Each structure stands twice: as structure tokens, then as C-alpha cells.
Structure 1
Amino acid sequence: MNKTMILLLTVAGVLLSGCTNKEPIKIGFIGGLTDRNSDNGQAGLNGVTLAVEQFNRQGGLNGQMVELLAKDDAQSPEKAQQSSHELVAAKAEAVIGPFTSGMAKVIVPVTGQAGVFQISPTITSMDFYGKDDNLFRINRTTRDYAEDYAKTLLSQGLQRTAVAYDTRNLNFTTSWLKEFRTAEQAAGHTLAAEIPYASSDETDFAEVVRLMLASKPDSLVFISGALDVARLAQQARKQAPKLPIAAAEWAATEQLIELGGEVVEGLLIMQNYDRDDQSQRYRDFAEAFYKRFQRQPGYSTVAAYDAATVVLSSLKNRQRGETLKQAALRSGPFQGLQQTIVFDANGDTRRKAFMTTIQNGRYVRLKD
């Protein structure tokens, strides 16, 4: 072998080595993975994990792989702040999450000050709407959801609703309650009761429901996570078995039916995706998800996968000198699993949602 050939092979080896040993691009994830409502966070993490694995199998970003850094916020302000600082210190290019508005109130200032692009799959509080910051949102707002709930309940002749709300996610629950109250008042009705409680293992859910029923309501609404809704529904069925019940979209997970069983039959609840979608795109995703995690995807899974799609597409489309936020604004619309994602200048988007009820152990979409 002559010297020229040896030199060419050496150079090729160095170039190949450089291509295969690039530092990975770090993407952060933050959500509740160990708290009482960890079903949302864990389902979301699974969705992001699948998206990143598929992206890497397809070659990543010109051969550069993505490394996912998952952090728990534990629905604790202290833990959320610690985890968000860790993601900033790790130089994450973007952060996907959090999954509750209460944690967003703590996390977004940290990532925002560091200039990190953040996209939440599920937060809805009006506190994060219409702001020119580094936060993008995949979900609707509490105003959109609450107005739809009020419209549905009123269409069923229910005019005296008692509400219970979890103060552990206060930013979301009070925003939702405010918008629901406003929608009811606009129709000429007032809420029968507004009962706050702090979710814990020691919460007396029988007493919460007793306080709701003391106002003589014609329906009950729970602004709570899936675990609490299952327990509240159990008490509602004991104390007022015929009274209609509903729960805010926060609880619309697989765990709600698993935990609630018969007591959540007939419960009214909204979904931000179509569980019965038969499109090839969604069926391929659902099949891949089940193969990877041995379970069906839920609403936070779908929204988190969509959020990851936005981040990964923006990384691919980013031009020299551009921030990831600028790339995301320029790169849309994005094709989500079921819906086209179009962001406005503030990173807000509209999303279709579907009112459902639980029948025979599954979510069934109500007719429009």
C-alpha cells in the first residue's frame, strides 16, 4: 500500500471518528414522576422517550444523537426549582415540561432567565397565556376548557354546580375555577359551593363531598388529579349516588379508570386528543408505543410526543445564529400525531378537545 493511500485512509478514519463521537445534544424533561399524580408525568416521559429514540434511530441531527435528561419535580416547589437548575447547569438545549401549572410557576422563571427554550405539553393556566417569553404550550387554556364544561352542564339542565379543587396545584385549579365561575355567571347562574382541599394521604374526602352536598347542588365538579377524582367519586356515589359528576381534564388519564372502576362510570371529562383515531399516523404511533412500554398512550403521552416533535424539528431546522425559539417560530406549522400545531408569536396554540364520559370502563366521546 503506498503512502498516499495510507494518508487517505488515515484522514477518512479521523473524519469518521469525528462523526461518530460527536457530543450528544442534551434535551431536558421535567415532570412529576414520584408525586401523588405521577401518572401524568410518567406517561409524558414515555412519550418523549419514544420520540427521542425514533429520532436517534433515524440518524439524529446529521449523526449527532440526542440525550434525554429526565428530572422529577415531585409536585414540590423546592424539588422543581432544584431540578430546573440542574437542567440549566447541564446546558440542556430545551426543556419539555412541566405537566402542571403549579410547577410551571416555579420552573419557568429559572429556565427563562437562563434563556432555555421550554415547551409544556399540558399546562393551561391563564397565567402563561399571551406572554412573549421562552415558554411554548401545546395545550389549550383553562378558559377554553372551563367554558366548554359550563356549556355542556348547562345544556343538560344542570345549573347549581358544587366544585372541589386541589390547592396543591393552585395555579391551575384557581385559574380553572375562575373561568368556570365566569362562564356560569355569564349564563345567569352562580356556583353552589367552592370547596378547597389540599391533596394528601390524610385528606378526608368524605368531608370534602359532604361540604359540597351541603349546598344542595344538582351536580359536582372535581378540579383534581386522577387519584383524588377516584376517591371523590367514591364518596359522591356513597352520599349522593344519583348526582351527576364531572372532573376537569387534569384527571383524564388511564389511571382514573383503573383506580375508579365502577364509581367513575358516567363521569363527564374532557380529552385533548381523540382516543379512537384510526388514522395511519396515529395507529403507527400507538403500536410503537405499546411495543415499547406495554400500555396504551394517554393524553399527556400524545401531547408530550407532540412537544418533542416541535423541539426535534426545530433543532433540525435551526439556522446559524438562531435561537431554538426563533427556529420554532419559523419552522411551523408542525404536524402533530392528530392535529396540526400552529404557534402564535407568544408560543400559544389552539387545540381541539373532545367531551367524553366513562362507559363500561372506557372513555366514550359524546356526540357533538
Structure 2
Amino acid sequence: MLKQKYFILFIISVFILTGCKNKQSVKIGFSGCLTGRLNDLGIAGRNAVMLAVQEVNARGGINGRAVELIIRDDMNNPEKAVQVDKELIDLNVSAVIGHMTSAMSIAALPVMQKNRIIMISPTSTANNLTGKDDFLFRITAPDMVQTDIMAEYAFNKLGLRSISCIYDLSNKSFSSGWYENFQTRFEEMGGKISYIKAFTSETHISYKNLVKELLDSEPDGILIIAGALNTAMICQHIRQINPDIFVISSGWAGTQELIQHGGSAVEGIVFPQVFNKEDQSPGYLEFKKKYMEQFGKEPNFASVCSYEAAQYLFTAMSAADDMKNLKEQLLKQGIFQGLQGNIELDNYGDAKRSQFIVSVDKGQFFILEKK
């Protein structure tokens, strides 16, 4: 009921502002996975963008024009991602915030490119999206940054020399690339990947059999590249067989759902992240307070990055003399103030920002190191 109440208020505020200003609204879209096993990212992103739209409209909109947010569910399906983005383009959006997984961004980018519509992804990090002059902007750094950090931490700090890896093909562009980058850096330092297994989260999974295969090679540690729910389930089965083995993962799993579904089985897991849950920056604390009041839960990395994507977009829109020049205006910003520090975007719209090594202790995320 609380969410419904705020959603109604959000819709009413848009219409009130539009009527008062008597100007045509500025339409933007949001595309993300709102249903299914990977919906934690999509829901968090949608909520944060809704909050950002409410705030900008309360300040008078974009140069007196209300921002109208149109939300679509890509269902983490490539064909659906293309379909919903075409719908948004037909509705004359000026830009789309999304998608929340690399695979969906890759699927949808050609149609956005063809129509010259900006797409700002909060959380797509696949390396094959890097260094390209296109209409995609990203708020999170490419995978190579986090894979190198995690491989070095695993080798130097955790003392791992042999790792078994499992990754989810439902976001293959991200997961397979993340694994390959990690493997390259880990093996450069003298480690080895003793076993590799891929699975698809949308299908029936025998976690017991998957984990048995991972542990049969007797590795020092396990690397899981999957969303929060699947990572939690895999950890549950790992701990039933080997309570003490090191488990590391990608930042994809770093939402509250990991702890909610994993419980004690995810204690001690280590992963890289762009988000510091304990950050005390005034802007972040204000955002956190509003987010919790409106949605009844703490924001996660997808919430933070999505809110930042919206702020980045609104700043450029306010400065652009024509929405057709939005790409140029976005590139002009260069460095902008995120919720937890500066974010720098290069000439290709790829981001550079602070990174963290995160673990779970007593049911809470905490920072091991800042990079």
C-alpha cells in the first residue's frame, strides 16, 4: 500500500506540474527487468528513477517542462528488450534509462543507435560495450576494472591459487566476459582455474549437482558470477559440503536479496562493488532517507547508480538547447557529482569511479578495502 500511495502521488505530481506550466512534458523511458529471478536490479533501478523524477518535477521540471517517466519491463529477454525500447521510441521519449543487465543493453543498442536515442545504463558493464562512439552511456565502470581488482585480491589477500568457477548464461555478455577477464588476470599471477561450469537461471537447476561438480576438483575457492538469488542458493549447497572454503563473486550479486536468501551461507563472501553502504556523504544520506521512506527498504548499488543516471541526464537536458543535441551535452559534462563521489565519463560515455571490496559479516555488508 505504501508503494502504491507514493506511485499515485508521483503520477499526480506530473499532471499538476504539466498543467501549471502549460508546456509539453519531457518524456523519458525506463527499461529494466521487473519480473523474474533477476528483478532485484530492475525494481531497485525503477524506484530510484521514479524518486529522481519526483524531485526534478518538484523543482519545476526541465526548464519549466514536467518530466514524464514511462516504465517498461524487459523481462531480461533480448527480444522483449528490443520490443519495449521500440515502444518507448514510438512514444517520443528523449532518452531511456536502462537496461540493467549488459545482455539487454547489447540487444537493445542497435535500435537506439538507429533512432539516435540516448540510452544511459546504470549497471551494464560488459567490456564489449567499451570504447565505442555510440548512443550508450554507462554510470558504472567496465568489467575489466572489477575483474582485475577481484583477481588480485583473491590471489594476494585470500591466498587462493586454484578456483572453480560457475556463471549464469542469462546475462552471458556480462558473466562470460567477467569470467574470462578474471581468469586472464588470475592466471597471470600464477593461479589456475581448476573447473568451469555455465548454467542458465531461467531453467530448472540442480544446485546440488552443480556444487558437487565445482568441489570435485578440490579448489581453494569458488567464484560465482550470477545474480543475488542464484548466488545465495549456490552458497547454501556449498556450505552443506564444505563450510570453510572461500567464496568470491562478482558485484552482480551484491544486493540485499543475497543476504535475505543466503543467510549464514553467504557469511564471508567477497566481491567488488561500486557502492559503499555506510557512506556518510550528505547527498547519499538524503537520498537513502527518501528512498527508505518511500519504498520501505535500503537502496542498493542499482538504486544508487540509477538515481545518478537520472541526475546526469537531467543536468544535460537542462543545458541542451535542443534534445537532438543531448549526446553532445552529456559528453560536455565530463565529471559530475555522484551520490558517493565524482564520476568521470570519457569521450565514449564510459565511467570511471571509486571501487570497493565488500564482504558479508553478521548479516551485513561491510567494506574491506577502497580502490
The TM tier, using the shorter chain, reads over 0.9
In the superposition, relative to structure 1, how do residues 314 and 201 fare at CA in structure 2: closer, same or farther (>3 Å)?
A: same
Name 2:253's counterpart in structure 1.
251
Larger Rg: 1
Q: Is the 8 A contact 2:155 2:191 kept in 1?
A: no
Return the offset for 1:285. Answer: 1.1
Report what 2:332 is aligned to.
Answer: 330
Once the two structures are superposed, what CA deviation does each residue of 1:39-98 show, in whole Å capped at 9, x if it has no partner? 011001111111110000000023210000111110112211111111111111001010
Superimposed CA distance per residue, residues 156-200 of structure 1 (whole angstroms, 9 cap, x where no aligned partner):
210101100011111101110110011012112221111111113
Instruction: Look up the equivalent residue of 1:96 and give its one-letter code.
Output: I
Q: CA–CA distance in 1 between the matches of 2:323 and 2:281?
A: 38
Task: Give 1:315-326 correspondences, 5 Å limit.
Answer: 315-320=317-322, 323-326=325-328
CA apart distance, 1:288: 1.1
Where does 1:131-150 land on structure 2 (aligned, <5 Å)? Answer: 131-150=132-151
Percent identity, please: 35
Letter of the structure 1 residue corresponding to residue 80 of structure 2: K
Which amino acid is 2:167 matched to?
Y
Unaligned runs of 5+ in 2: 1-16
Alignment deviations for residues 312-333 of structure 1 (CA, whole Å, 9 cap, x no partner)? 1100010248511111112342
Quick one: distance in 2 between partners of 1:301 and 1:169? 19
Matched-pair contact (CA < 8 Å) for 2:183–2:192: yes
> Which residue is equivalent to 2:9?
none
Q: Deviations over 1:204-224 (max 9, x none)?
A: 111111111111111001000
Contact conserved, 1:120 with 1:137, CA < 8 A, in 2? yes
Between stretches 38-47 and 201-210, larger displacement belongs to: 201-210
- CA offsets, 1:19-56, max 9 Å, x none? 62222110010010002110011001111111110000
Q: Which has the higher strand share?
A: 2
Does residue 112 (structure 1) correspond to residue 113 (structure 2)? The answer is yes
Unaligned runs of 5+ in 1: 1-15
Find the aligned partners of 1:53 and 1:184 in 2 and give their Cα distance: 45
Q: Deviations over 1:263-295 (max 9, x none)?
A: 111111222111111122211111111111111
Establish whether residue 25 from structure 1 lines up as the match of residue 26 from structure 2: yes
- Residue aligned with 1:306, SS: helix
Select which of 194, 208, 211 maps to 1:209.
Answer: 211
Give the alignment of 1:1-368 within 5 angstroms: 20-155=21-156, 156-200=158-202, 202-320=204-322, 323-367=325-369
Query: 1:128/1:321 Cα in 2 relative to 1: closer, same or farther (>3 Å)?
Result: closer
Distance 1:297 1:173, change over 3 A: same
- Whether the aligned pair in 2 keeps the contact of 1:317 and 1:331 (CA below 8 Å) is no
Name the residue aligned to 2:3. Answer: none
Q: In the alignment, residue 235 of structure 1 is paired with which amino acid? A: H
The 3-state SS of whatever aligns with 1:192 is strand
On the 8 A contact 1:223/1:248 being kept in 2, the answer is yes
- In 2: Cα distance, 1:204 partner to 1:17 partner: 52
One-letter amino acid matched to 2:341:
Q
Q: Normalising by structure 1, what TM-score? A: 0.93
Provide the rounded CA distance (Å) in 2 between the counterparts of 1:62 and 1:197: 48
Native 8 Å contact 2:170 2:202 kept in 1: no
Q: Greater CA deviation, 17-26 or 160-169?
A: 17-26
Local SS of the residue matching 2:360:
strand
Tell me the amino acid that sits aligned with residue 362 of structure 2. N
Work out the CA distance in 2 between the residues paired with 1:19 and 1:225: 43
In 2, Cα distance between equivalents of 1:108 and 1:321:
19
Aligned equivalents of 1:205, 1:264: Cα separation in 2: 15
What one-letter code is carried by the residue in structure 1 that aligns with 2:168?
Answer: D
Q: Does the aligned pair in 2 maintain the 1:124–1:140 contact within 8 Å? A: yes
Native 8 Å contact 2:140 2:353 kept in 1: yes
> CA contact under 8 A between 2:356 and 2:367: conserved in structure 1?
yes
Partners of 1:201 and 1:263 in 2: CA distance = 23
Runs of 4+ deviating beyond 6 Å: 16-19
Report how far residue 201 of structure 1 moved. 5.5
Q: Compared with structure 1, are the counterparts of its residues 303 and 321 closer, same or farther at alpha carbon in structure 2 (3 Å cutoff)?
A: closer
Counterpart Cα distance in 2 of 1:273 and 1:357:
12
Q: Secondary structure of the equivalent of 1:342? A: strand
Output one character per residue of 1:245-278: Cα deviation in whole Å (capped at 9) or x when no partner: 1111101001111111111111112221111111
